[in-house]
Structure 1
Amino acid sequence: MKWICLLILLLCIGCISADRLPSGMPESQIFSIGTTLSATGITDQSTKMDWTVSSGTPLESNILNSSDLISLVRYSDSLLGNGGTLIEVKNFEFDSNSKSRSTYNIENEKILTYNSHDGSHLLGAESLMMDNMGNCTSDTSPPRCVFAEPKEILTPSFCNIVQAKSDLININQAKVSTKGEIRSAGGFSTPAALNYRIAVTADKNVPAQGIVKTEFAGSIMEARDTNQSEDTWNRTAATNSWKDITQSSGEIRNLQKRFGYVSGMRV
């Protein structure tokens, strides 16, 4: 019986790490933007969104107090053409409510084809960024085992930022599709997520022509959970950073890139 109680206690206070998301506000904002475009001539189009949600601390504060969480999100997408024929279908969806593991606060998807006329070309850029940070929080829940002594556990601090972006440069002809997803409001048990994918392919067996560049990057800083007698909850215990860059120029028959990021609590 003693070993069973000890096992239950260890399961209750085990290792905890990674992002904790702030919950959505009681007031919800939901909007969508749909675009269908078929045109020959000059094109100038852009979509941009900055969203910050916090839990505990006001946004104007420069200090995160105990248990405070904050998530910063930025999305941008632009197209600029000086002529040629552009066909595009694009949908942008935003929902500020707390999300579950299978849903997202921001979803964007587009498909376009472009063909140059008289030397015209197309420029495009798309970027998704998520920056999550939080101070330690205490968990004083009593253990299940009635013979175990309650012990304060500190869930650690963290500061994690990830980004995915793509650039279309001097495109003379291409068929392009992209999809982006971000989850940054959900609560303690919901993981943060950022997904992005892009495909550049031949149109009617004619290869894309121009320069396509993608960049995926992240920087992670995590402290370690602890008990009251130690002070590692606010000291960096794990870091990792990564960057993936791809650039292709000339005739492109098939370029596909995918980026997926999930970070959540592990108990």
Structure 2
Amino acid sequence: MKKYISISIILATFIILIGIITADRLPSQVPENQIFTVDTLIDSTGPIYDESSLDWTLDDQNRAVHYAYVADGYNVNNLYSPSQTIASAINDLNSADYKWVKDNNGNLRLTYLNVDDYLYTKHIPGTSTSWGELLETLDEDYNDYIVDQKIDTGSIHNTKLNSTEEIMILTWTDFLRSNGGKISLNKNIDFDSQDKGKSLSNLKSEKILTYASTEGAHLIGSEEWVFDVAGNWERTGDSIRCVFTDTSGSIIPAFCNVVKAKSELVNMNSGQISSRGAVRGVAETGDVPGAMSYRIAVSPDSNSNSGFAEGAVKTLFGGSIMEAHGRNNIPSATNNWRDVASVTGGIKTFQKTFGDPAYTSGITGTGDPDDYDRLSRTSITPTPTPNPQTGTIIIVAQCWWELTGPSNYDGGQGTQTINDAPIGEYTFMSLGNYDYATDTLTAGGTITFTREAC
């Protein structure tokens, strides 16, 4: 007799890393942007191979700098040769902010220097000379230098991030392969590289597939999301949208955050699999957080006589978080976490969710300038505002669902009650078969959406 293991896993991992002026500050869009959609619909018997991937890197900064460089035809022996103290201070800058050459006697001569605007009036360490005075000396006492100022908007590089700079790296891969069997696949990919506000995504992928083995065939597959955002410190300035907030003296600290979600299908003989993932990695202002969500569900094929999905399913969720205070480049907070699950055999239900509705990491505040002056050292809880007229929504579903209306919700299998939902018209959609229904919630009332099958 063949044994089946009945496994039911419903896990929601909900992580919000927030604080007053802390965490992810997303880069902004470039002038030219791309939008594309890829839809796949397959219903076939026999071997199949389907693969999709995206690698996306975006760098952005708003760095005011004063700089000096040498004109063409310069005489190396006439260039500025610093003292050992000043040379050491220059070498402590970002390696992309200075260049040296050696003269005929082997002495260092300066050919390029970038100085952040905030350093201009500050003394060079170990001296009584300011960085601005050094640049003025190059401009007035040396004929071979051109001194100017600019706003550096950033570019992709492999050196330490500059002040005001942030970089976002998103890697997504998804593949399926079988050596036979019957498969039904519906898959959608949506990408938009433009700035996104809260609750919107730059990349979104959804798929639903049903597989049944024939003649001993198997299905394998995997999907992986890696979201990496890092930034050096930046003055708050215009990166916070709220016009009532005076944050000119505040600092958004440095951070390096990486999160990952991965699922694997191994030697599947039968089952229905649905997955959905989304990432927001680009925003116009610093008060829109980075976000990622991923979910996968495995259930029996309705045509299977066993009542179980058969095979192995694995998931891995993890993150590495590093945050600083002020202008420091030394971590003030670290957080490394990992969640792993694996099931093999006869699977009745397997559901795994990363984010509810999304992992977010970003800047929050109340609009009070005092909050920002605390530089994340104190957690401020905004004063709650009175709730509008509300009611109750009950969801009874056997698969993933979305609810849109005056407020948006989503969830998985089982019965869920949403209290204090704003009144108005709501549309319920089952993500198993994309069936939908609409109802209107009144003040103090209750509406119920039921989906017994996917």
TM class by shorter-chain length? 0.7 to 0.9
Q: Within 5 Å, which residues of 2 pair with 1:242-253?
A: 242-253=337-348
Structure 2 counterpart SS, 1:25: coil
Q: Could you tell me whether the CA contact under 8 Å between 2:253 and 2:323 is conserved in 1?
A: yes
Report the residue type matching 1:21 in the other structure.
L
Query: For residue 217 of structure 2, what is the aligned residue in structure 1?
Result: 120
Structure 2 counterpart SS, 1:83: coil
Distance 2:330 2:158 in 1: 22
The structural deviation recorded for 1:153 is 2.7
Structure 1 residues 140 and 42: alpha-carbon distance in aligned structure 2, compared to 1, 3 A threshold = closer
Q: Within 5 Å, which residues of 2 pair with 1:83-232?
A: 83-139=180-236, 152-186=249-283, 187-204=285-302, 206-225=307-326
Report the residue type matching 2:60 in the other structure.
S
What TM-score comes out, normalization by structure 1 length?
Answer: 0.87
Query: For residue 125 of structure 2, what is the aligned residue in structure 1?
Result: none
Distance 2:158 2:269 in 1: 48
Structure 1 residues 196 and 139: alpha-carbon distance in aligned structure 2, compared to 1, 3 A threshold = closer
Structure 1 counterpart SS, 2:198: coil
Q: Which structure carries more relative contact order (alpha carbon 8 Å, separation 6+)? A: 1
The structural deviation recorded for 1:26 is 1.6
RMSD: 2.0
The structural deviation recorded for 1:235 is 1.8
Farther-moved stretch of structure 1 (111-120 vs 204-213): 204-213
Question: Which has the larger share of strand?
Answer: 1
- Paired residues in the alignment total 243
The structural deviation recorded for 1:16 is 1.2
Q: Could you tell me whether the CA contact under 8 Å between 1:21 and 1:185 is conserved in 2?
A: yes
1:76 is aligned, of 161, 167, 173, to 173
The structural deviation recorded for 1:203 is 1.5
Report the residue type matching 1:155 in the other structure.
I
Distance 1:16 1:247 in 2: 38
Q: Could you tell me whether the CA contact under 8 Å between 2:49 and 2:178 is conserved in 1?
A: yes
Could you list the runs of 5+ residues in structure 2 that have no partner in the other structure?
1-18, 62-153, 366-454
The structural deviation recorded for 1:151 is 7.4
Query: For residue 447 of structure 2, what is the aligned residue in structure 1?
Result: none
Structure 1 residues 116 and 184: alpha-carbon distance in aligned structure 2, compared to 1, 3 A threshold = same
Structure 1 counterpart SS, 2:181: strand
Q: Could you tell me whether the CA contact under 8 Å between 1:19 and 1:192 is conserved in 2?
A: yes
The structural deviation recorded for 1:61 is 4.1
The structural deviation recorded for 1:191 is 0.6
Distance 1:236 1:152 in 2: 21
Q: Could you tell me whether the CA contact under 8 Å between 1:16 and 1:224 is conserved in 2?
A: no
Query: For residue 239 of structure 1, what is the aligned residue in structure 2?
Result: 334
Distance 1:151 1:244 in 2: 40
Deviations 1:104-163 (A, max 9, x none): 00000000000000100000000111000000112468xx99xx9x97332200000000
Give every structure 1 segment of 4 or more consecutive aligned residues whose post-TM-superposition deviation is greater than 4 Å.
none
Aligned-pair identity (%)? 41
Q: Could you tell me whether the CA contact under 8 Å between 1:18 and 1:266 is conserved in 2?
A: no
Structure 1 residues 200 and 139: alpha-carbon distance in aligned structure 2, compared to 1, 3 A threshold = closer
Report the residue type matching 1:174 in the other structure.
G
Query: For residue 21 of structure 1, what is the aligned residue in structure 2?
Result: 26
Report the residue type matching 2:220 in the other structure.
L
Deviations 1:163-202 (A, max 9, x none): 0010000000010000000000013111100000000001
